[in-house]
Amino acid sequence: AIGDGSMNNGVAHESMNFATMAQFKKGLPIIFYVENNQYGMTGQQKGEITGVEFLSQRGLGYNDAAMHAETVCGMNILSVRDAVRRAREKCLDGEGPVLLEANTYRFWGHNFKDKGVAYRTREETDAWKEYDPVDWFRGELVRNDIITEENAEREWEKIREKLRELTVLAAKSRFPKIKDIYAGLYADTSSDNIDESYKTVNLLKPARKYKRDSDGKILGRHAVAEALAEEMSRDKRVVLWGEDIAEHGGAYSATLGLIDTFGRGRIFNTPISEATIIGTGVGAAMVGLRPVVEIMYIDFILMAMDQVGNQAAKTRYMFGGQSDIPLTIRTTIGGGKGYAGQHAQSLESIVTQFPGLKVAIPSNAYDMKGLLKTAIRDDNPVFFIEHQMVYLEKAVVPEGEDYTIPFGQAKVVKEGSDVTVVAYSNMVGRSIKAAEMLEKEEDISVEIVDPRTLVPLDIKTISESVKKTGRAVVITQAPYTGGFASHISHEITLNCFKDMKCPVRIVSSYDVPPPMSHPLEVENMPDPERIARDLKETMEK
């Protein structure tokens, strides 16, 4: 159910287009019920902020059946009942979805401050009151000898009394206890121990096997594909959707071959509709599926911030912990490929701002597989960030569905004694190269810590390293201002201040959009040489 105001939001159009996709062989059983009370906040649907007489006319644009669109008098309870019954029958017969508009009226203002007089006349309001649905229905019952006027008044008084009781009950209810402010934010459960009944049977063909090289290594993108295939086989509730992920296998072939094994019922393409990709993922997770949805580039997440921040992250908390959201949002970070300002940003700090959301950001193929399997099994929404350059790098990756990596456990990827580097994603590999240069040329011993997950952040492991070395440098691909590196720096200072020999240093991209020009892009992103130079300067403090 949505209002006439919401019908003008782009997500409404995305949703109806999504619901009417031809690949859904049997129409989705969805009724889009639009309560058109004539005003969004103050803007009037008819004659002002739309160009149509009836909002149901928009159904013409979505499928050949025009979504069986219908407009009824929303002031007539029986008309609405009959229309909903017709729509329900269409849906049960496989002819959904249906667009149903109920024309009604908002007698009051948008909120308590809005008296509703600045943008409409008293004559308009009085004219609509002649069709008040409550008074009309009461009159119908009396006129058709279903109840008498006396009985009607008696029943109406019971209703008024019940409303008074509920109002008093709400007013007297106790406020939550301060100590419970975090209650319901995160689930502490997962699907680790599901039984065999969840296992996928009747595969269309065996899942693709990725052959290890002589050292037992595979590419990062193959590690992702292997994790997805194993989790889809292990749990039939795992379903994938996103742009171009079916036959094409996604922009980076990370889902290649999955449709051949699991079919279109388990992995399918979507329109370019980032908000609806994630919004439907939230809904599917709430009713028992374990969706893995893909946003091709993290830059595109800006098209779906409401769904990420206000729905995926907050729903469990707002429902008092009564609804788990086992949703995995996969996306990629670019950089180093000339993809420029809309395809190469590092926006991880944005999604860490939403309590209720976990954020994983692997730096190698080994972690890509283990962390992704953990994300899919987690009963919380997880934002999973894969770097496109790591897709092309090899690492030793275990086979088998029992391999997972717990969230919130950082890894010391290289031990050292002089300075601690905290780096994540593609910057880990660059930091290793910088450390090797320094050890060979300057005899500086560098310890490198990879957080693996930003939320939760393992500050304990990071702090232990910094207390040992007395120096810390945080490396990030993101711009300097407002980045997650600043948060890590703050936590290090908070926990290690008395053990530190100098302030924490941040090595980052510059405060500019990612350039397309190759020389500018190379200069913008921290490379081993710049990292080594800054580490050397830190040692001189």
Query: Quick count: other Cβ atoms within 10 Å of Cβ 81?
Result: 11
Tell me the residue type at 183: A
As given in the structure block, the two tokens for residue 378 are 């987690």
| Beta strand ranges found along 11-97 (DSSP E) | 31-36, 70-73
| Residue 269 per-residue DSSP state | E
Residues tagged active-site: 343
Tokens 């008093």: give the residue.
168
Whole-angstrom distance, CA of residue 73 vs CA of residue 404: 56
| Terminal alpha carbon distance of the chain | 62
Q: Which of 318, 523, 534 is nearest to 435 (CA)?
A: 534
Whole-angstrom distance, CA of residue 2 vs CA of residue 7: 7
Whole-angstrom distance, CA of residue 530 vs CA of residue 541: 17
Tokens 């490198």: give the residue.
448
Tokens 């296998």: give the residue.
249
The SS3 of residue 317 is helix
| Residue 145 per-residue DSSP state | T
Tokens 């309560």: give the residue.
35
Q: Which of 390, 338, 334, 389 is nearest to 364 (CA)?
A: 390
